[in-house]
Structure 1
């Protein structure tokens, strides 16, 4: 249609009003509306130890088969894009829990959620990746973090691939800053404190070569499980009651509280354990099993618990 000089201004005014209405609607978008399209797409990322992964657009249907990744996804603002999480992903409470297994992932069951992105912590041989690729889903493998820096890098990566790059970077920066401050503000004893970290009642422990062991090292703590080689047994050796009693750790950290009901009282009731310095001084620390086994945003909770224990033991 050809506009006359009289109709042109009216049409232009109408277009302006409609534009203002659209902008107003965007500004008052309801919280239940679909997430806005992120920035930086298309993009290509290379996970540590993995092959380059290309994304043409922001993923809108994410399945997480990693409890740590689940926590991080919600922390960077990608929760609305998550359509299912595995049976062990118990945080946050609002996550869409399912019966999907992270240990034995079933491509057909995963495919039932029509995902465009699936996040796992391992994929031996790449079989799951191949199967999901045939279903049109990309697979992002995020291996266990070995250090705090590895964890921070995963925060940033998950923010980037989900269309929340600034949120991912901010989470990494804030978590790093919080941990650095907590460590710096914690008094350091003149003599380094020894500790024992318990994974279960058969005395499996971890060494300073592991991710959690690295957290303890930030406080200058000495791990009785290290022995002559902290890398032995993959960093997860089984100790004996005799070895623990002989080492007499000044701190005992329990990460078998939820699974196995362990606490300061049950530890003190073990044969001979009432003689341990940690038991006598009240520095047996009951940790949250999940927080003490993941490298997600709640790692600061673990750091605070360690800081409190070090402060108490150093008095």
Structure 2
């Protein structure tokens, strides 16, 4: 799918998911460094192509998802700067650094001993590497296992392996319980997931789509993905015809979408999801990130599914 064919909102949503990417000194010993967890106390450590001689204490995160991961594993105290879209948790040290169009010089000026990001925009990885600044890349997850792996690797790099392991286990346990509680239905419920008001959506082949499959839902956008991009733009006519049982809005904060705005769209009042009030307003941020709060997204999906009368 060409970026030029996307609406501004949809492009931003895909970028947040790390899917629009195509469109100094090394760590040193610091007596004030947070104590690493036992499983990762020994340095140097190596994850992929990244080797750290000592526990990093000046971490820069240029991805909202990795920012959430770092704070969730107890490495927040080591994070000295995050990008302008990292808005969770509230205590994250937000700056004007960009994760979409990163500036290597601006990043290097903050003397990080580890940079974490999701996309290699502007060839920033090579530029930072040339400055001998370690860079860990956590691309958009394709599966939940990708999320777990990234959390684990960040735990190893930051000295919080035990905390990372505990976090991933909690996520797995929580998701397993949520999925277990999903009502069994002879005929799967159908759903439409909205990225923006111009009707861009996701298919079952995407990370987001896979979460809905866990809840046993059938995606009405799959048939519209004739180019296999995973992110088709649907038509109002096709949606009315598909008549989904549930509609999930991932454009509530950005674009003010709600049950009322959807109901006001021409021809939409008769869609089952709309007429029965089964339109779920999601938090845009949670819906576009693959970190620890993915559990909250799955919970929203499962709770909405459970409220639909069999």
Instruction: Indicate the TM-score class for this superposition, using the shorter chain for normalisation.
Output: 0.7 to 0.9
Maintained 8 Å contact 1:188/1:314 = no
Q: Distance in 1 between matches of 2:240 and 2:301?
A: 21
Q: Does 2:248 correspond to 1:249?
A: no
Counterpart check, 1:102 vs 2:104: no
Question: Quick one: structure 1 residues 121 and 234, their matched pair in 2 at CA, closer, same or farther if it must change by over 3 Å?
Answer: same
Q: Does 2:72 match 1:75?
A: yes
Q: Distance in 2 between matches of 1:220 and 1:63?
A: 38
1:240 correspondence with 2:235:
yes
Q: How far 1:123 sits from its partner (Å)? A: 1.2
User: Is residue 277 of structure 1 aligned with residue 272 of structure 2?
Assistant: yes
TM-score normalised by the chain length of structure 2:
0.86
Q: What pairs with 1:6-45 in structure 2 (closer than 5 Å)?
A: 34-38=33-37, 39-45=41-47
Give the secondary-structure state (helix, strand or coil) at the position aligned to 1:90. coil
Q: State yes or no: 1:172 paired with 2:168.
A: yes
1:52-201 matches, within 5 Å, as 52-123=49-120, 127-201=123-197
Question: Aligned residue for 2:203?
Answer: 207
Indicate conservation of the 8 Å contact 2:225/2:231, yes or no: no
SS in structure 1 at match of 2:60? strand
Structure 1: tracts of 5 or more residues without a match: 1-32, 47-51
The whole-number CA distance in structure 2 between the counterparts of 1:272 and 1:131 is 52
State the 1:136 CA deviation: 3.0
Deviation of residue 289 (structure 1)? 0.3
Tell me how far 1:109 sits from its aligned partner. Answer: 0.8
Measured in 1, the distance between the counterparts of 2:267 and 2:42 equals: 60
Q: Output the CA distance in 1 between the equivalents of 2:129 and 2:253.
A: 37
- SS of 2:119's equivalent in the other structure is coil
Secondary structure at 1:44 match in 2:
strand
Contact 1:188 1:219 in 2 (8 A): no
- Judge conservation of contact 2:36–2:160 (CA < 8 Å) in 1: no
What is the CA RMSD across the aligned residues, in angstroms? 1.5
Number of residue pairs aligned between Structure 1 and Structure 2? 276
Q: In 2, distance between residues paired with 1:56 and 1:272?
A: 61
Which deviates the most, 183-192 or 65-74? 183-192
Summarize the Cα distance change of 1:70–1:133 in structure 2 as closer, same or farther, 3 Å threshold.
same
Structure-2 separation of matches of 1:314 and 1:145: 33
Rounded to whole Å, the distance in 2 between the matches of 1:259 and 1:228 is 24
Give CA deviations for 1:129-175 in whole Å, capped at 9, x if unaligned. 22212333101111100011111111111111110001111111110
Larger radius of gyration: 1
Structure 1's consecutive aligned runs of 4 or more residues displaced over 6 angstroms after TM superposition are: none
* TM-score (norm: length of structure 1): 0.85
The separation in 2 between residues aligned to 1:37 and 1:124, in whole angstroms, is 31
Partner residue of 1:267 out of 251, 262, 265 = 262
